[in-house]
Amino acid sequence: MVKKRILLFVALACSTLITASADEGMWLPNLIGRQIDDMKAKGFHLSAEDIYSINQASLKDAVVLFGRGCTGELVSPEGLLFTNHHCGYEYIQSHSSLEHDYLTDGFWAMNRSEELPNPGLTVSFLVCMDDVTDSVLKGVNDKMDEIKRKQKIDANIERVKERALKEYKGQKGYEASVESLYYGNQYFLFIFRKYSDVRLVAAPPSSIGKFGGDTDNWMWPRHTGDFSVFRIYADPNNQPADYSPENVPYQPKKYFTLSTDGIGEGEFTFVYGCPGATREYVVSDYVDYVLESNPNKIRMRTERLDIMNAAMEADPEVRIKYSSKAAYIANAWKKWQGESLGLERLGTLDKKRAYEERFEVWTADHPEYAGVLDRLQNAYDTKREASIAADFYMEGVFAIELIQLARDLATGIVAGRMPDVKVFYKNYDEAIDRKVACALVNEFVKNVSPEFTPVDFAAELEKFGGVDGYVDYIFDNSAFTSEAGLDNLMAGREGKELEEALWNDPAMEFYGMFADVYLDKIAPVIAASDKVLQREYRTYMRGQMAFEPERNFYPDANLTLRVAYGSVEGYEPEDGVWHKPFTTLEGIIAKDNPEIYDYDVPEALRQCHAEKDYGRWAVNMGTEENPVYTVPVAFLATNHTTGGNSGSPVLNGDGELVGINFDRTWLSTMSDLEFDPAMCRNISVDIRYVLFVIDRIGGAGYLFDEMSFN
Ligand code: ARG
Ligand code: GLU
């Protein structure tokens, strides 16, 4: 074991000498020194200490994990923060109603007292990070079975966290987490400081912040002003505190200077944020599974979206209720389509298989890795059918809203605390859900083998004359379809009696019947395989590092802070087509169509354009001989990003803010599995457009007083 660990260490150390291909890679900020020469050669002008330091304020102190899975950046000494419109969306939506429709009209606090609190929303700053592999793996050896090993590691992790937090004793908001990197070959400790009073300051109307909607989502050319503005509040001593009117704007250690010059084609840029999950080092069997699973999941979401979109178009009230849900469903739906296309275009499956063949040959001289590929393949084979069936549970019957509520109630019974159903009913439309239920139950019937189907299900279908009859029976008789119905059912009941009444509800019976099969026949098969995968990937990862000592490995994304760097570049999506790296206001006007909700440009923007009245925001996007004065809107770059990087600061070589990351192009989305330097581009909203909108559409230019510009 000791020897292997040393080998691994040597592999890691050696890898620092050689850079990865093109702009692939999401690098750990505290190890960024290994990349700094490459970054400098490409146009970075600061030092590694400027990116991450524990001795002085550094750029990391201006970056936060925003909410559950986005990034945000500080842009003023008074806690002002930028993130994406889609990251703020659920909060903007929660303050919206037909009277105050901030989604449609936008929201601009005109002074601090108008800023809106958001219960449940938190932001976390990274205080420091450290390699704690030795402490976490203390007393662990390769002969241990996985359960013992995990127990030991968990205990060690608890100790590491406890010890680390001692230093911050008595101070509010500190949290520690230990994350595994390279499939358990390394462990890093992260200390965060979490702030929980975060208020909404500004959001453009959706016709800017979500311009192009789901049609343009994941696409280029793109014209979305995907930003929103929040402010972090702290207690009078600048310490984290829950919402209180006595709280004051938080004073950050560091905030970004905004570059009013913006950025140009070919220039260096880096993204500092929290990418969520990538799987760059998996075997071909996983890719094969993704290629089978994606089409099933896509089809089920298409059916749900068709139903929701039709209802939303017909009724503005339904639109408010379902806009956030539909956007959420549509996002991964479209991403999976791009991912499958990209994987097929790249031939990722065949490339992985060829790589594995070479690896296999190499193991003849490296017996410690012999057989690992077979064992991985076996584990995937064992769970394959269960995994595919699981899609028809997770994206199928369990995606019916009424059944999600039943699941929450069932969980509530067990936990002894009933869920808060207010938000559920605020956004619920029974007619939509009933149609969705018919579609999803039909999918289940058509695609899931008897092995993974509840025994009583067929009899139920027969009793009610098929899927539609059965779904109608549930929706006609369940008390859960309305808040009054549920209240009525729960009123005056407690404990066992309440439990029984709930479980007698047809929606709950449906949930119970499917949950039983899922928990008995599907989850255990998947869990058993996953345990094997965990162990074998640890070996395979180490094996890949030894097999390719020249390659500059970076750990898969896991929502920890990373730096990705590259430059502003266009790309060739197909033969003969070149996508330029910038879009402008001219393109917004070209897409203008008042008939289509997603392309209905706000009147104020039309006006600006008609009068060519861009004031100080006019930029020459043409040439010197043929100037075209307009406002840049979005740009492409070669930074390696993924979900979670939304809202991340996009910075120039001097560490100044030039954009806010919000997307990738469609043909990039396979970069979670294989990065293609020719094709992969992240999409950012240009900071010049953000400022233009704040000033000219929001009339909130007063916010500039607290920012600093270059
Ligand atoms: N594709 C971006 C991301 O993955 C933006 C999603 C929000 N926008 C939308 N139209 N659904 O999160
Ligand atoms: N929009 C994504 C997010 O919410 C980022 C796009 C991507 O997956 O790269 O994080």
pLDDT in tens, 294-322: 999 999 999 999 999 999 999 999 998 99
- State the greatest distance between any 2 C-alpha atoms of the chain, in Å, as a whole number: 81
pLDDT bracket for residue 13 (50, 70, 90): very low
Q: Which residues contact 521 (CB under 8 A, 6 or more apart)?
A: 386, 451, 452
Question: In degrees rounded to 5, what are phi and psi of residue 414?
Answer: -65, -40
pLDDT value for 9: 43
Task: Tell me the CA–centroid distance for residue 662 and ligand 2, in Å.
Answer: 6
pLDDT-wise least confident of 120-134, 200-214, 413-427: 413-427
The rounded distance, in Å, linking the Cα atoms of 74 and 91 is 19
Ligand nearest to the CA of 330: 1
Ligand nearest to the CA of 334: 1
The rounded distance, in Å, linking the Cα atoms of 697 and 677 is 37
Tokens of residue 314, six digits: 């017909």
Residue type (1 letter), 431: A
pLDDT at 14 over 90: no
The rounded distance, in Å, linking the Cα atoms of 151 and 81 is 40
Nearest CA-CA partner of 425 in 483, 373, 368? 483
pLDDT value for 143: 86
Ligand nearest to the CA of 67: 2
Kindly give the number of the ligand 2 atom that is closest to the alpha carbon of 86. Answer: 4
* Catalytic member of 61, 76, 86, 340: 86
- The model's pLDDT over 89-123, given as tens digits with 9 standing for 90+, comes to 999 999 988 889 999 999 999 999 999 999 999 99
145 catalytic? Reply is no
Q: Which residues contact 186 (CB under 8 A, 6 or more apart)?
A: 131, 133, 180, 555
At 368, is the secondary structure helix, strand, or coil? Answer: helix
pLDDT at 495 over 50: yes
- The per-residue pLDDT of the chain, averaged, comes to 95
pLDDT at 242 over 80: yes
8 A C-beta contact, residue 470 and residue 461: yes
Element (H, E) at 118: none
Return the HEC string of 134-178: HHHCCCCCCCCCHHHHHHHHHHHHHHHHHHHHHCCCCCCCEEEEE
pLDDT at 19 over 70: no
Residue type (1 letter), 353: R
- Which residue among 85, 664, 679 has the greatest number of ligand 2 atoms within 8 angstroms of its CB, and so is best to mutate? 664
For atom 9 of ligand 2, the residue with the nearest CA is 642
pLDDT value for 145: 87
pLDDT value for 98: 84
Question: 100 exposed, middle or buried (CB, 10 Å; 0-12, 13-18, 19+)?
Answer: exposed
pLDDT value for 86: 95
* Catalytic member of 23, 61, 197, 226: 226
The rounded distance, in Å, linking the Cα atoms of 133 and 191 is 16
Task: Tell me the CA–centroid distance for residue 663 and ligand 1, in Å.
Answer: 7
Return the HEC string of 329-366: HHHHHHHHHHHHHHHHHHCHHHHHHHHHHHHHHHHHHC
The rounded distance, in Å, linking the Cα atoms of 181 and 26 is 12
The rounded distance, in Å, linking the Cα atoms of 659 and 177 is 30
pLDDT at 28 over 60: yes
Nearest CA-CA partner of 490 in 409, 414, 430? 409
Mean pLDDT of the region 127-147:
94
pLDDT value for 551: 94
672 catalytic? Reply is no
- The model's pLDDT over 465-479, given as tens digits with 9 standing for 90+, comes to 999 999 999 999 999
Return the HEC string of 239-264: CCCCCCCCCEECCCCCCCCECCCCCC
pLDDT at 18 over 80: no
Mean pLDDT of the region 571-593:
96
- The model's pLDDT over 519-568, given as tens digits with 9 standing for 90+, comes to 999 999 999 999 999 999 999 999 999 999 999 999 999 999 999 999 99
How many percent of the chain have pLDDT more than 90?
A: 92
pLDDT value for 212: 96
Kindly give the number of the ligand 2 atom that is closest to the alpha carbon of 644. Answer: 10
Tokens of residue 507, six digits: 């929606």
The rounded distance, in Å, linking the Cα atoms of 190 and 174 is 10
pLDDT value for 183: 97
Kindly give the number of the ligand 1 atom that is closest to the alpha carbon of 332. Answer: 4
How many percent of the chain have pLDDT more than 70?
A: 97
pLDDT value for 4: 42
Tokens of residue 470, six digits: 């059965």
* Residue 429 Cβ < 6 Å to ligand 2: no
SS3 content of the chain, % helix, strand, coil (to 5): 50, 15, 35
- The model's pLDDT over 674-708, given as tens digits with 9 standing for 90+, comes to 999 999 999 999 999 999 999 999 999 999 999 99
Question: 296 exposed, middle or buried (CB, 10 Å; 0-12, 13-18, 19+)?
Answer: middle
- The model's pLDDT over 413-464, given as tens digits with 9 standing for 90+, comes to 999 889 999 989 999 999 999 999 999 999 999 999 999 999 999 999 999 9
H-helix segments, 579-627: 585-591, 603-610
**Inter-CA distances, 502 with 454, 470, 541, 642, Å:** 20, 19, 48, 41
pLDDT value for 522: 98
478 catalytic? Reply is no
pLDDT value for 22: 65
State the DSSP code for 20: P
* Residue 70 Cβ < 6 Å to ligand 1: no
**Inter-CA distances, 668 with 77, 326, 399, 676, 680, Å:** 36, 23, 27, 8, 4
